[in-house]
Every structure is written in structure tokens, then in C-alpha cells.
Structure 1
Amino acid sequence: MKPLLVLFAVFLISLFTLRFLTQKFDLLLSARIGMCAMLIFTAIGHFAFTKGMAMMIPSQIPLKTEIIYFTGILEILLGIGLLIPSLRIYSAWGLIVFFIILLPANIYATIHHIDYQKGTFDGNGITYLWFRIPLQILFIVWPYYCSIKVWH
């Protein structure tokens, strides 16, 4: 829920700030700025809640901590890439693939009641997927429409 709030809040702030500065609304740039801010926000979680996030990865996968750090850095780089015109499309495709790959970890965490912030097994549970899956779809569609579809 917090990433969604960051995404929309920064999108709206950017939209009106750009309107004030340029005398026009720039929905696409505001959307990319919102996604970048959301990705930086979620990337911080990779470093603040490493143990809990590592619990979201099935036990048979090695190097969990390294994966969490790598994906945190990747989120930051892809988010910044959305703001660089020559990297925008590549970053958007990278995010789409990233969010698709991330969905099974979120499903795994939900099924196992993982609370990544506490690093415990008393998380929300299966009903959380009713929110998480549509949210993940939004995160997949967002970079497509604000970075890729515009160019076709």
C-alpha cells in the first residue's frame, strides 16, 4: 500500500509542479517521476528489511541476501533510467520483466504469511493477494504506458 501511495503522491506533486514551472501538464513525465520515486522508496526496503525480504525467496534458491541487494540496486537504476530519454524504453522493459519475475516471490510470501518488515511469519496471508496481484499489474502497465507505448 505504501508504494502505491508514493507512486500517486509523487505523480500528482510532479504533475502540478511541472504545470507551475512549464505552464503545461506533462502526464508522461510525471508518471515516470512517480514510478522512479516509488522504486527508490521500495529499494530502500531492500536494505532496511533485507532479512525479511530474503524470507520471500524459496529456500532452494541460494544467495538470498545478495539477490535482495542486487534487486534493490536494480530498482534504483531502472527508476533513474525512466528519466533518461535514451534509456527510457530499455528501463521500462526491464521493469516490466522485473515486476513479472517478482510476482511469484510476492505470492510465496503471502502463502507463507511472511511479514518482510518484521522478518516473521505473521504477515497478512492469502487475502492480501486480492490487493497485491492487481497492484503488480498496475506496476507492469505503468512503465509501458508512460515510456513504451508513447513511442509506437
Structure 2
Amino acid sequence: MAARIAMCIMLCFTAVSHFVFTKGMTMMLPSILPFKTELVYFTGLLEVMLGIGLLIPNWKTYSAWILIVFFVILLPANIYAAIKQVDLQKASYDGYGLSYLWFRIPLQLLFIVWTYLSAVKI
């Protein structure tokens, strides 16, 4: 349960960035996607709802699987943002670039394993 609580807290904190750094978050998405701002807001709400879902016994497994898929889907956005050197906090193109992926990809894998082990496998 502690791992699910920690994941919920992390998701709630990261969801805040969807509302505080919306412009920078929209820059992480390829121009081909429509409704980028709405998508950023939606994914922020989704993070909160799924985080809370991890804490509800009847919903934890469903929430976990949706989160795992969500984390996989986020990876291309993070790769795109790294290639474009997006700094989401400043909403500029002078971020860390590809070196960011050395941190982000293992972190994304950690989130997937963490979610699986704490909410699906148990």
C-alpha cells in the first residue's frame, strides 16, 4: 500500500505541472496533434484520477494497467521534447536535449515496474 500511496502522491505532484507549465507541456507534443492544451489538461486530470484509483481496492488493478499504458504512451512525447530541447518550465527550446533521456527513460521504466509490482502483481 505504501508504494501505491507514494505513486499517487508523485502523480498528483506531476499533474500540477500540467496546469502550471501548460505552455511548456504543449511544446512537448508534435504539431500534428490537435487540441494540445486540452490534451495537457486532460492528462493532468487523468494522472490525479489514476493515482487516486491506485488507492481504491476495486480500482487499483484497472488504474495500474491504464497507468502502465499511459507511461508507455508518454515516452514518445519525452523523446520528442528531448530532441526539440524543450524546457517545459520556461516554455523554451533551450532544455537539456538528448542527455535528458538518459534520466527519463530509466525513470519511465521504474514507474512502469513500480506500478505493476505494487498494484497488479500483489
Q: TM-score w.r.t. structure 2 length?
A: 0.99
Partner of 2:47: 75
Which of 75, 84, 90 is the equivalent residue of 2:62? 90
Displacement of 1:80 after TM fit? 0.1
Alignment identity in percent?
Answer: 66
Which of 118, 122, 140 is the equivalent residue of 2:90? 118
Partner of 2:29: 57
Tell which has more relative contact order, 1 or 2 (C-alpha 8 A, sep 6+): 2
For structure 1, the 5+ residue unaligned runs are 1-28
Give the letter for the 1:141 counterpart. V
Give the letter for the 2:77 counterpart. A
Which string of whole-angstrom CA distances, capped at 9 and with x for unpartnered residues, describes residues 45-93 of structure 1? 0000000000000001110000000000000000000000000000000
2:69, 2:31 → 1: CA distance? Answer: 23
Structure 1 runs, 4 residues or longer, greater than 4 Å off: none
CA RMSD of aligned residues (A): 0.4
2:100, 2:37 → 1: CA distance? Answer: 24
How does 1:1-152 map onto structure 2 within 5 Å? 29-150=1-122
2:44, 2:92 → 1: CA distance? Answer: 20
Displacement of 1:128 after TM fit? 1.2
Which string of whole-angstrom CA distances, capped at 9 and with x for unpartnered residues, describes residues 97-118 of structure 1? 0000000000000010000011
1:136, 1:100 → 2: CA distance? Answer: 8
Partner SS for 2:121:
helix
Q: Which structure is larger by alpha-carbon Rg, 1 or 2?
A: 1
Partner of 1:3: none
